Structure formats: structure tokens, C-alpha cells
Structure 1
Amino acid sequence: MEFCLDLSHHRWARANDPRQATEWTLETVAAADRAGLHSVWLSEDPDGWDAIAVAAAAAVRTERIRIGTGVTNPFLRHPVQIAMAIATLDRLSSGRAFLGLGRGQPEFYAHGLGIPVRRPLTAVRETVELLRQWWRPPHRATLAGTHFVVHDWPLSITPLQRPVPIYLAALGPKARQLAAELADGILIADFASEPFLAAILPELRAQLAAAGRDPNRFAVFVRTNLVLTDNPEPALEERKLAFALLATLPGMSQQVIVPGFDVERLVAELRQLLRIEEQLQAGRPWHDIRRAADPDRIRQLVPTELIAQLCLIGPADQLRARLARLAAIGVTHVFVRALPEPDPAAYRTLVETLVSAPARPES
């Protein structure tokens, strides 16, 4: 199992000193690079930063860590823009770029930005088909698609890697099937429970085998936001707001399978509290939904023990046991939350602590 770093624009949005926030981000990626982490994933939403620009700045400060989007989509970026941007990033990073790709939140684009959104998974499929053409010789693409019609269009700047890895953000069965057919790996959203992963990963391996692909060469990334701590309560409380914002989006609670909790009722209460349907239909972005939330009320509604079962937050022996269980069911990469200071030694210690004296999965 390998460890990845998850970064978003939120620190920049809250910063009193923009220069300091920018430097912290770049130094954090450099620290993760020197510590030996596998990759850094830079989130991209239509109300945040430009992930490719940040990745390009980080590329020239690093030597081995893989750098990419976590994730972008074909409504925010046309496929040719994705092809050019990732090829450029791959050159700047000497062959370390990857693409994290998903369907995005359709309501943001359709209702907030006036971008037509229909059959989003078809748009993702067509994007991957175009990228594969542009990134391999002769670097020309043609497609008569539903979303994209491209007529023998060439690219003169191409990646160093052949091929550039494409990882699809996928939760539902159709998205997972698409990942098994076309992608190099899958990214599973935050707050995915062990029972959910244990249910879907054998099916995913079967789909890969049926497609003539080697399941052992397919990466399974899980956005765990791991925190190593002997005092988990504050971190668990902090995660409740993120849980409420994510789980209330259409289809995003399906990964929250935790015996003993009425997740359906909880999500319905949170959706009502956040007025999520109204916000989405009005085309409101993350920025507005987050600011309208009542964190105190959310913390009261969301059980701490539920978050504890959904998040990798806790002491070393507990986390080692949980990581062993995840590895046993097929997870290959997990995400750690960025440390407060960009200290390579601290990241190395974190990884060494988690991989030393590996625990056997609990029965």
C-alpha cells in the first residue's frame, strides 16, 4: 500500500496572507516528495484554484512524486485543453503527471455556469477516448461523439510518458464499469466505509478480468484523509462538516454503509438542514453551500462514532489494523491529510509508523 497527499484550495481561500498560503502548498508538496509519498492530488472545482497551474508550479520543485488533478472533468475543461495541460505538466515534471478525471457535479455547470450537461458518463468516456488518441502516435484525434466531435485534430506537444495514467473518480456501478474498461485505476470518494469497499472491489476485479485486464495492475485509490493522532476527537469533529457537505450530494451517500447507523435518515436530515436540493437547483457552488452551513448543528446531528468508522483517524496500532484490512480487500493507495508544517521528516515518520509492525486484519 502506498500513501498519497490530498490538497485543495481551501487554505488559499481562508488565508490572510496569500503569499504565505501559496508557499505552504508548494513546500508541502516538496516535503511529501522528499518523504517518498506516491502522489499529490490537487482538487479542482469551478469556484477554486486552477489545479494544473498549481501542479506545474509544484513540478519544478519536486523530483519523484507523481502530480495530477484530483479531479477535473470534461465540463470544466474541454478534452483538448485537458490533453494539452497534462502533456505540458508531464514535460515540466519529467514524466510524473497523471490525470484524475470525473463527471463533476452536473448542477454546478448546468444551473450555475450555463454549460450544457447531459449523460455525464458518456462525456467522460469520450474524453478518455480522445486523450488516448492525442497521447499516442501519431497524436491526432477523431471522434464523432455525443458530446465531442473532433475532426483529425493534431497536438504538437505530447507527454513524455506512454501512456499517462488516467484514474477515474467512480462510485456508482456504471462509473465503476467504465473505470474497469478504460482507466488505469479508480478513485473512491471520501467517507467510503469498509463494508462498501468489501462489497464493490471483488466485483471490480471481476469486471477487469472480463475486460481482459490484469486486476493486479489496476490502482485502487481511496480518499481516506488519514490522520495519525492519539487524540482523535478534534479531528473527528472537524470532519463532520465535510461529511455533511459530501454525503448530501446526489448519489454520494451510497458509500456510507455502516451497520448500526440509520444513514438514510441522517442524510435526509442533513439535506434538509443544508437545503441542498434548493442550493443545487439554484446553481450554487461549494463556496456558497459551505458558507450557508451551520457547523454546530451539523456536529450535533452527526454521530462521532459514525465518523470514526468512516475516517482513518486515530493512534498507530488502530490505523495499522485498518490499513491491513483495506489492503486485504484490494485497496492499493490511501490519502493522508497534509501535516501542519511542510516537514519531510514528519511525513517520513508518519509513513514509517504506519507501515512498521504491520497488523493482521481483524476477523
Structure 2
Amino acid sequence: PAALAQHFATIDELSEGRVIVGRGNSGPQVIEHFHGVPFQPAFKRMRETVEIMKILFSGERLNYDGDLFKLQRGFTLRFDTYRKQLPIYLATLNPRSVQMTAEISDGWLPIMIPMDRLKEEIDQVNDWVREAGKDPADFTIRAPGGVTVANSPEAQARARAGQAGTLAFYCARMGEFYYRQLSRQGYEDEANAARLAWKEGGGGAAAESIPGEMLEQFGFVGTTEECVERLEQEQAAGALLHSVNVMESDPNEFAKILEALKG
């Protein structure tokens, strides 16, 4: 946690206060076989990490008696932070973790929530924010699916193929967490089909198994005008931070698209 606080506080100073701290637990394959540390207890580690970072960002001496971290030497960061409170957004999936996100953080970075359930999910999170004694107006939620502007049929086809490949990979090759998330959201059959297709025919077959309706629910590809409409739908559901990709190589056209998206 202290190393994370050092990194983010340094970048916040260099960027003159533009940093948003993003934190997620990943999964056992990455944490244990790439970083070389035990994955569990991930839930408790996330809470304690956030609490420790907040202490260090504030400039207070670090005296912390947690279950995982017992830090009693009173260390501080060796520089004055640009801001005493850096916004911390958490990427969480299951309801228990999302409720903790509402309690201890400043924003939520969800993934794999279908568009037709987004408002329901956000309303629940905002209820948890209120239960924690906070104002939902001060809590930021990012839309869970990306929006890709593609103004030609060829670009749209490439974007949808990439989207299908990503969904298939998350279904079949990213452990159980994303599979469970898709199942909670009503897409267990589609996730099972992608897993079977990958096993029998590889990534290409798995991507081809993803239905078009599923692609539109978990992301969006369209013209500039269609993407503006999708962003408005996300905003109406309560998501005020968006992930947008623009498939345009001409700088002048790119700038025009950005202006249209800004509204």
C-alpha cells in the first residue's frame, strides 16, 4: 500500500492534480503466478490498502493496526502531496465487494453489466453510498462497457470482431470471476457456449459463438451519432464516466468526432 501511495502521489504532483487512483484485485493466476504473492484474502487486502493510502495521502503519520498490515513506526511520505485526498476508484464485481466500494471509495469501475440492467445496478450502488453516509453526487460510476466510434462498415466489423474476441477470452480464459459475473447478469448459457467453443475450436470459434445481442449489451460499436445516443443512455442510467474509442486515422475527422461526442 505504501508503494502504491508513493507512486500515485508522485504522478498526481507531476500531472498537477489529475490522478485518479484505480485499484482492483485481479485474480489468482495473475497475483500468484506473475506477482508471486498469495491472492487471498483479497477482500480484506483491498480495504486495508485503501485505508492506508488515505492516511499517507493526507500527510498523517502511518500508524495502522489491521489484520494484514500492522504498521506502527509512524512513517510518512517524504514529500507534501499535491492533494490531501486523491480520488480512489475500485474495480469490483460481486455484491459484497461492490458494497465495500460504495463505503470506502470515491468511485466504481464496473465491468460486464448489460445495458438493460445498468440503471438497476447503479441505483443499488447509490443506495449503498447513502447507507455509508455519503452523497451519490460525490461518487463517480464509470459505464461498464466501452463505446467505439466507427463510421465505416469495415471499421465496425473490425471493432465488433475485437469485442467478440475479448468477451470470449473473458468467458473462457480468465478464471471464474468474470464467468460468475456474466452468470449473475443472466448470460450463463452464452458463457458456457463460449467456453465449450474455445475448448473445441480455439479463440476464433469462441468469438464466433458470442451473439450479436450480447455484444450490444456489454459494449457498443456504431457511427458518431449512434455513439452519442449510447453515451446519453449511459448517462441517464447514472454512469458519468465513459470509455470511448475512436477508429479514425485522419486528425481532422478525429477532432470533429470528439467535438460531436462532447455535445
| Equivalent of residue 11 in structure 2, options 89, 99, 110 | 89
Aligned length: 256
Q: Which runs of 5+ in 1 are unaligned?
A: 1-78, 276-292, 357-363
Question: Which residues of 2 match residues 294-313 of structure 1 at below 5 A?
Answer: 294-313=202-221
Q: For residues 35-85 of structure 1, give each alpha carbon's deviation from its aligned partner in whole angstroms, at most 9, with x where no partner exists.
A: xxxxxxxxxxxxxxxxxxxxxxxxxxxxxxxxxxxxxxxxxxxx1110111
Question: Which residues of 2 match residues 79-228 of structure 1 at below 5 A?
Answer: 79-111=1-33, 113-138=35-60, 140-151=61-72, 152-189=74-111, 191-228=112-149
Would you say the 8 A contact 2:179–2:191 is kept in 1? yes
Compared with structure 1, are the counterparts of its residues 308 and 148 closer, same or farther at alpha carbon in structure 2 (3 Å cutoff)? same
More helix by share: 2
| Equivalent of residue 332 in structure 1, options 234, 240, 250 | 240
Note the C-alpha offset of 1:229.
Answer: 2.0
TM-score, structure 2 normalization: 0.86
TM-score, structure 1 normalization: 0.64
2:153 aligned with 1:245:
no
Q: Which runs of 4+ in 1 moved over 6 A?
A: none
Distance 2:114 2:180 in 1: 10
Note the C-alpha offset of 1:107.
Answer: 2.8
| Superposition CA RMSD, Å | 2.6
Note the C-alpha offset of 1:352.
Answer: 2.3
Distance 1:203 1:326 in 2: 16
Classify the secondary structure of the residue corresponding to 1:224.
coil
| Identity percentage of aligned residues | 23
Would you say the 8 A contact 1:102–1:170 is kept in 2? yes
Question: What's the counterpart of residue 222 of structure 2?
Answer: 314
Would you say the 8 A contact 1:86–1:159 is kept in 2? no
Note the C-alpha offset of 1:184.
Answer: 0.9
Compared with structure 1, are the counterparts of its residues 84 and 188 closer, same or farther at alpha carbon in structure 2 (3 Å cutoff)? same
Q: Greater relative contact order (Cα 8 A, min sep 6): structure 1 or 2?
A: 1
Distance 2:36 2:182 in 1: 31
